[in-house]
Copies of this chain bind each other. A is one copy, B any other.
Amino acid sequence: MQVKGFLAAAVPAGVRYAGRLDLGLIFSQTPAVTAGAFTTNKVKAAPVQLDMERLRSGLAQAILVNSGNANACTGKEGMDQALATGALAARELGIDPSLVQVASTGVIGQPLRLEPFAQAMPGLVASLSPEGFEQLAQAIMTTDLVPKIASATVDIGGVEVSILGIAKGSGMIMPDMATMLCFVVTDAQIVFPVLNRLVKAGVGHTFNRITVDGDTSTNDTVLVMANGAAGNPWIDEDNLQAAALFGDALKGVFKELALKIVADGEGATKLVTVRIVGARDEDEALNAAQTIANSALVKTAFFGEDANWGRIIAALGRSECTFDPQRVGISFDDISLVENGVALGADREAAATAVLKQPRFTVTVHLGEGLAEAEVYTCDFSYDYVKINADYRS
């Protein structure tokens, strides 16, 4: 898929390893309205700090991204290097450096060498093309097994608007290796305050609802550039219906990418939706869902295809959610396994075990306390998760 007015490219620059795609660029032919969402970790990598500062303008024209080195925990020098790599791209593109966003993923705590960027930049810019996004999706992979791309179109006032997103991520954080990055380009005409709100809301219900290991990265970045090339009627505060339509499409792209990240979670063999229904309020529902979705004991039981509802109820019990243990119900897909806090017997457990043998399923916990609900997406916890994370730097 192509999006009007956007080009992309990726080249092997040798940031850490020779001979693999590790430097990418997204370029909009005109400055684009740009909004972002960034890690909430108190430790923010230099590129994150720089992007947050530059996005105050609500405008960007290029995103320069590298894998192999996260440029995190690198002190004042790290910021100098982030500025310098952005300046290299700006000069080669002939745009103002303030319009360049930068993103990095890879080893933490090691100085980022400028030389690979300087040598690769002319070739990178020369190879920009409307079809460059697939290569870009490959260039940002670290422990990812598959590149992650999603797209959508939406009709805004009779004009077709395109949205194209790429992402990487395989654990919520592996500061040596991985990070969640997502870049979305759209030719929609949209004002910054509306785009910004839609990005924050969309991220809150998609990327912030996935977990691989409960850790959050120093480099997590979502950037959405809208260059207006579609020429649709402006999406702004006076056109909230269009904002809702566009927001739904954007959220759909986010969600598709988010689920691809979980499905490709380090060592994952299953994609599991944990759903809490009947909670007192959404915060409690979300806290309960996240506690269950992050429990090592629940996730190893998923890997073992064991309908171990005791671990689910025990994780629920240490969450901050209000409930009465004697009213809890638990289902695996449409198989009800527990009602009013007690098991329904061996037949139901056998049926639930069959559900767990599938690559995707939903665990629903019924609280009977109210009407609020929340969903979180997680994966199982396998030997390979341990292997990937124990062996990585060796």
Which residues of A approach B to under 8 Å, CB–CB?
A: 40-43, 70, 72-75, 107-110, 171, 173-176, 213-218, 295-297, 300-301, 303-304, 306, 308-311, 313-318, 323, 325-326, 338, 340-343, 381-383, 385-387, 389-394
Contact = CB atoms under 8 A, between A and B. Distances in A.
B214 A300 contact: no
**Of residues A70, A171, A316, A393, which shows the largest number of chain B Cβ atoms within 10 Å of its Cβ?**
A393
Given A108-B313, A109-B310, A214-B295, 10 more contacts: A73-B341, A73-B343, A75-B340, A107-B310, A108-B310, A109-B342, A173-B314, A175-B310, A215-B318, A218-B313
Contacts of A74: 342
A43 B315 CA distance: 9
A213 B291 CA distance: 13
A215 B314 contact: yes
B42 A300 contact: no
Contacts of A174: 297, 311
Contacts of A40: 318
**Of residues A316, A343, A382, which shows the largest number of chain B Cβ atoms within 10 Å of its Cβ?**
A343
Give me the 5 closest cross-chain CB pairs, A-B, nearest first. Answer: A304-B390, A108-B310, A43-B317, A300-B389, A175-B310
B296 A43 contact: no
Contacts of A43: 313-314, 316-317, 325
B394 A387 contact: no
Nearest to A108: B310
A393 B308 contact: yes
Nearest to A295: B215
A371 B3 CA distance: 56
7 contacts: A43-B313, A174-B311, A213-B296, A218-B314, A218-B317, A300-B386, A382-B386
Contacts of A308: 175-176, 393
Contacts of A381: 296, 386
Contacts of A318: 40-42, 215-216
Contact of A311 (B175, B316, B325): B175
A175 B306 CA distance: 13
Contact of A304 (B216, B316, B383, B394): B394
B109 A176 contact: no
Contacts of A342: 73-75, 109
A110 B342 CA distance: 9
**Of residues A42, A303, A309, which shows the largest number of chain B Cβ atoms within 10 Å of its Cβ?**
A42
Contacts of A297: 171, 173-175, 213, 215, 389
Contacts of A75: 326, 340-342
**Of residues A316, A382, A386, A394, which shows the largest number of chain B Cβ atoms within 10 Å of its Cβ?**
A386
A386 B173 contact: no
A180 to B, nearest CB: 13
A369 B195 CA distance: 39
Contacts of A382: 386, 390
Nearest to A40: B318
A296 B343 contact: no
B303 A386 contact: yes
B389 A296 contact: yes
Contacts of A216: 314, 317-318
A344 to B, nearest CB: 10
